[in-house]
Structure 1
């Protein structure tokens, strides 16, 4: 899976998508520090220990470099940024039941706008799975020769609790 480059100075607006999600009872927000355990445990349960470890790093930042999508008091998605490496987007995930509603796109935009607010002009989406999604959503372009990128020597835990 290649790395992708995103121009943060040409991002689509987030507000219209947020308003649509709010109308459906879905709120995007930064988690609060005391929610760390709940968020990290949810990510571990839904997506595995590696992503949970990266999510944990987000809570060491101020502001916390993660967004969550919440519906009916439950997390349905998350997106971290500036955790895997400086200027990187991800990890990100949405529950199977919540897919197809624009939650993933909204989390992507929220995180990328977060990187732009930190002063970055570009973001990297490392080891991007759904390349076409990122191309359509934010105009991401493939970085030639980027596979396997920073993930070449990773130590997988293989754990899910």
Structure 2
């Protein structure tokens, strides 16, 4: 799986998804997000997400499906996801500076624009942080990325920074 290069100047605008809030995660959400990522996508991605939470600014963005409940907005205002359900996440500056990923969306929410919204929000955040380019490392679904932003495959980039990864 090769790495992809994304030019961050001249990105398409961020996208909205009806019924979904896409935003940068907050520090008190670290454990809830990490537990969800670990359950849905495994411990390696949970580890990368944890590292993204240690950055300033935080490099983990989340997608939350809004939940409409009768009565008070939340029975427990201290619950991180009491007003919605976590359905996706994306990180940058996790495994290496200037790298985007990992990114994951719950199966039921795939092909609905959530992944594209997360990707674009992260890439715009990277641009605002001062990066001119981003690397998407060890790409699996290349067609997904090509459908959202212009990308260039980096020759000779596989296995890249993941070479010798402890398994």
Give the number of equivalent residue pairs: 150
* Match in the other structure for 1:13: 13
What CA distance in whole angstroms lies between the structure 1 residues aligned with 2:48 and 2:106? 18
1:137 correspondence with 2:148: yes
Tell me the CA shift for residue 10 of structure 1. Answer: 2.1
* Match in the other structure for 2:134: 123
Moved more, 39-48 or 132-141: 132-141
Residues 8-157 of structure 1: matches in 2 within 5 Å?
A: 8-14=8-14, 17-18=15-16, 21=17, 24-71=18-65, 72=67, 73-156=84-167
Tell me the CA shift for residue 61 of structure 1. Answer: 1.1
* Match in the other structure for 2:81: none
What stretches of structure 2 of length at least 5 have no aligned partner? 68-83
* Match in the other structure for 2:80: none
Higher Cα Rg, which structure:
2
What is the CA deviation profile of residues 39-60 of structure 1, one whole-angstrom value per residue up to 9, with x for unaligned ones? 0000000000000000001111
What CA distance in whole angstroms lies between the structure 1 residues aligned with 2:30 and 2:96? 20
What CA distance in whole angstroms lies between the structure 1 residues aligned with 2:88 and 2:147? 20
Tell me the CA shift for residue 136 of structure 1. Answer: 2.2
What CA distance in whole angstroms lies between the structure 1 residues aligned with 2:153 and 2:113? 23
TM-score (normalizing by structure 1): 0.91
* Match in the other structure for 2:75: none
Q: Cα RMSD between the aligned structures?
A: 0.8
Tell me the CA shift for residue 25 of structure 1. Answer: 1.3
What stretches of structure 1 of length at least 5 have no aligned partner? 157-161
| Higher relative helix content | 1
Q: SS of the counterpart of 1:114?
A: helix
